[in-house]
């Protein structure tokens, strides 16, 4: 067996030496239904930041490409959640190099998608677009439909923000075609993407149908971090059309979620301002 094949197997099958510290760095509580767990999620992030240097050290000692990749990937994820884009980008670049070295196409494609998100936030839109296109190309090769859906959706939304509506439509429609029936989260995100495309095209009736589909599907998930972005878009849509009463219940729900994300133990469900929602 050649060196690349051996490293690829190592990437996929080893890395247990850092499993314990990295497990703490993946805050499932951030997605929990219980409002009080938002505080726990932040505590987990703080604990993760303490553990990551040791995880990286152990990964280096293990010699496992998988362990080293995962250590940097988690470091990047936590830095992104904390708003440290520079640190997140640097860690994703490290994870990218390790995945490429191992020849692990799916892992590399995933890193490229996340790195693209960071780069767009930093204003490097052209580079972000290039990475997303490369991620999509790779994911098509390895037939990873779940990851492919989100890469397609991300590219569609980026292109839409750049005013490339027709191309955005093509990728948003492909994301819906690739979507698997039981992937509720991606059903929501792709419906929102297509709604935004239809809205940009002036096809408001179709846009509203997709927005409503997304909101209905949100009722099938308790992942609060998933709920906030679709609700922001759905609240904005009727408000911009002077339908304040229709928007009101969703404003209240969004206020609850925002309060929970900001660590409030309780909320009085006060409506957020009716302007400035993005």
The string of pLDDT tens digits covering residues 143-177 is 888 899 999 999 999 999 999 999 999 999 999 99
Give domain status of residue 200, yes or no. Answer: no
**Domain containing 28: what range?**
1-103
Q: What is the pLDDT of residue 44?
A: 55
Provide the number of structural domains found in the chain: 1
Rounded CA gap, 155 and 173, in Å? Answer: 12
Q: What is the pLDDT of residue 12?
A: 38
Give domain status of residue 210, yes or no. Answer: no
Give domain status of residue 211, yes or no. Answer: no
Model confidence at 48, pLDDT cuts 50, 70, 90, reads: low
Give domain status of residue 114, yes or no. Answer: no
Rounded to the nearest integer, the mean pLDDT of the chain is 78
Give domain status of residue 171, yes or no. Answer: no
- Asked if residue 20 has pLDDT above 50, the reply is no
Give domain status of residue 31, yes or no. Answer: yes
Give domain status of residue 8, yes or no. Answer: yes
Give domain status of residue 270, yes or no. Answer: no
Q: Which tokens in the block code for residue 191?
A: 């419906």
Q: What is the pLDDT of residues 247-260, one digit of tens each?
A: 898 889 888 887 87
User: Crossing angle, helix 165-178 and helix 145-161, to 10 degrees?
Assistant: 160
Q: Between these two residues, 184 and 33, which has the higher pLDDT value?
A: 184
């Amino acid at each position: 067996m050649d060196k690349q094949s051996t490293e690829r197997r190592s990437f996929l099958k080893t890395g247990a030496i850092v499993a314990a510290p990295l497990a703490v760095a993946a805050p499932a509580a951030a997605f929990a239904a219980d409002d009080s767990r938002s505080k726990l999620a932040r505590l987990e992030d703080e604990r993760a930041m303490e553990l990551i240097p040791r995880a990286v050290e152990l990964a280096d000692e293990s010699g496992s490409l998988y362990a080293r990749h995962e250590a940097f990937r988690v470091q990047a994820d936590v830095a992104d959640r904390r708003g440290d884009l520079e640190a997140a980008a640097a860690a994703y670049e490290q994870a990218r190099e390790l995945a490429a070295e191992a020849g692990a196409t799916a892992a590399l494609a995933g890193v490229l998608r996340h790195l693209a998100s960071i780069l767009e936030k930093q204003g490097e839109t052209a580079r972000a677009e290039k990475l997303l296109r490369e991620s999509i190309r790779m994911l098509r090769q390895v037939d990873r439909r779940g990851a492919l859906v989100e890469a397609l959706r991300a590219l569609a939304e980026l292109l839409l923000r750049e005013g490339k509506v027709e191309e955005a439509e093509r990728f948003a429609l492909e994301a819906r075609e690739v979507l698997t029936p039981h992937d509720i989260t991606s059903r929501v995100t792709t419906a929102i993407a297509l709604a935004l495309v239809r809205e940009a095209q002036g096809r408001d009736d179709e846009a509203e149908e997709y927005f409503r589909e997304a909101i209905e599907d949100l009722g099938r998930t308790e992942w609060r971090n998933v709920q906030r972005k679709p609700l922001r878009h759905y609240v904005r849509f009727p408000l911009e059309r002077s339908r304040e009463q229709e928007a009101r219940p969703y404003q209240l729900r969004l206020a609850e979620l925002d309060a929970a994300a900001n660590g409030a133990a309780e909320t009085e469900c006060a409506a957020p301002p009716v302007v400035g929602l993005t």
